Amino acid sequence: MKQYLILVVPALLAQGCLSSKEEIKEQPLKMIKQIDFSHVKINDNFWSPRLNKHVSTTLPVCIDQIENQTGRIRNFENAAKGEGKHSGFFFDDSDVYKALEGIAYSLINHPDPELEKKADEWIDKIEKAQQPDGYINTFYTLTNLEKRWTNMDKHEMYCAGHMIEAAIAYFQATGKRKLLDASIRMADHMMRQFGPEKAHWVPGHEEIELALVKLYQITQEEKYLDFAHWLLEERGHGHGSKDGKGTWDPDYYQDNYPVKELTDISGHAVRNMYLYCGMADIAVLKNNTEYMAAIHRLWDDVVLRNMYITGGIGSSKHNEGFTKDYDLPNLKAYCETCASVGMVLWNQRMNLITGDAKYIDILERSMYNGVLAGISLSGDRFFYVNPLESKGDHHRQEWYGCACCPNQLSRFLPTIGNYIYAISDDALWVNLYVGNTTRFTLNDDNVILRQETNYPWDGSVKLTVSSTKDLDKEIRLRIPGWCKNYTITINGKEVGLSQEKGYAIVYDWKSGDVISLDMDMPVEVESADPQVMENIGKRAIQRGPLVYCVEETDIPGHFDQLTLTPDTKFQTSFENDLLNGVKTVNAKNGQQLITFIPYYAWDNREAGKMKVWIDYKE
């Protein structure tokens, strides 16, 4: 396998998402919906400890930073009083909203009256900071309201988008509408300012587009969907302006062409991900075939020419994004954690649209490597930037002045269950292999899914589907792109199967059957695309979905002389006492022994050098 997966563009299906309060219902035609994480109880050795850490450590860290260590919540308090200074960056409101969204998601599967009380306190402060006309942004409220809506790069709509997402999450978790109603007032305020026959606006940082789609889905108010579409259509027509005087970099802001004409990713990585998510949503809900064609072209450009083996994207610190195709330095790689989360969000949409497993392959790659590397095993330290090589001076931090990534993780981690299953009119789709018990209602039938696995350490999975009625659905089991050999049995008997778009299709099954998938998971030696000059003469190690790296602490004294050859022998060993339990890959090359650990686990021990790509001698 090369660093880029060269695959075909699939046919079009339709997309949908289920809120935590909705019954899962079959839809006409070919609709694929995720099964919402609120129905999924994860209980495995890999993800459960991380979800527990999210509740016990990560959320409290975020709350403490927002309340005590920074001025983020005080900005709302000051804005409500109409006095005092604004502290921090002009976009810091978004950190409060993202952490609040993380709280909401945590409450869904881990009810906690004290945590809910804390959220209510924040929401009261947010609502009191809102202006009578619905506008809310503490930066302009505390600096100069007359300057609001004069600079497209000041993240007013970006913050509003995160407010909307947090409001919907909290409404779904608790049924409480206060923040949702405040968000609706802000959305209506924006629509009074901008739109057809009104002022132009190009959001400097995308996010509002996908949030408005969610607002449409929760309210069924078509105007929010139309406004999201209008904002996308504003791009590429010369309307962008950073200061009202024309200062603007169209490539950086994805404003270089109308979005339907886009072919190449450019500029800031996270902004691109949110843009593509918004385009995917509109493509489905508006049946926009031009958007659909564009996001397929863009996916090819991102994955085949601009993605790291970790699923990270964005090679340049200069613009937190992209330079030219195949420019993928290891030491100076940017690979922002938020961008990897964005890859998960976008690729899930692409999978739901197409029913093609190749998108889940990328989702999984980004999630297990690019995203998980962004948070320490203790849950309280974070990476903003995720390089593929370190000279020993790159470390996780307790917090950042620009703290988008810690708060992004706080809202992403509790939703891992969103990506495991999906359902359509004719199939149950199994996308990720995570131990869990899932319960949902389908056409008045109670359905229970049980998945048992030690993934990602081995490739054995047992799935049991129980229902009171005949589901009359095939089961589609994703066969990961890294898997070359697998077997599927039903109640211990091997069955012949067909495969389509990366899924093995199980037709003949009944309630209570144990469906077993056994995937070979050998150590793979990976080479980069030859156009990646940085990695000529180098190799990387991958096993299953995990990319591996070498840390100096395991190989003191000769770290810089490490080499792999065609004769290198590999062995794996599960180390219970190492890095909260990991399967290491040990490479023996003559007298040289190299210990590889999962990339996500680096920088959790002694400071030292690290690298993913190792010199290779034929």
Residue whose C-alpha is closest to residue 327's, from 265, 385, 370: 265
Amino acid at the residue 56: S
What is d(CA 293, CA 262) in angstroms, rounded to the nearest whole number? 9
What is d(CA 296, CA 304) in angstroms, rounded to the nearest whole number? 12
The answer to whether the CB of 252 falls within 8 A of the CB of 202 is no
List, in order, residues 6 or more apart from 32 with CB less than 8 Å away: 13, 14, 15, 16, 351, 352, 353, 355, 422, 423, 424, 429
The strands making up 445-453's β-sheet, listed across from edge to edge, are: 40-42, 436-442, 445-453, 460-467, 514-519, 486-490, 493-494
Secondary structure of residue 350 in the 3-state scheme: helix
Q: Write the Ramachandran bin of 541: left for phi over 0, alpha for psi from -120 to 50, otherwise beta.
A: beta
Catalytic residue among 159, 335, 338, 404: 404
Q: Is 404 a residue of the active site?
A: yes
Give, in order, the Cα–Cα distances in Å from 143 to each of 72, 85, 148.
Answer: 15, 8, 10
Amino acid at the residue 54: H
Amino acid at the residue 209: E
Give, in order, the Cα–Cα distances in Å from 126 to each of 80, 143, 169, 230, 446.
Answer: 8, 17, 16, 28, 40
Q: Write the Ramachandran bin of 82: left for phi over 0, alpha for psi from -120 to 50, otherwise beta.
A: left
Q: Is 335 a residue of the active site?
A: no
Find where tokens 């994955």 sit.
Answer: 303
What is d(CA 14, CA 284) in angstroms, rounded to the nearest whole number? 6
Secondary structure of residue 478 in the 3-state scheme: strand
CA atoms within 13 A on the CB side of 555: 23
The answer to whether the CB of 232 falls within 8 A of the CB of 259 is yes
Catalytic residue among 234, 320, 364, 552: 320
Residue whose C-alpha is closest to residue 525's, from 618, 387, 432: 618
Which tokens sit at 257? Answer: 């062409």
What is d(CA 460, CA 401) in angstroms, rounded to the nearest whole number? 43
Burial of 561 (0-12, 13-18, 19+ CB in 10 A): exposed
Q: Write out the catalytic residue numbers.
A: 320, 404
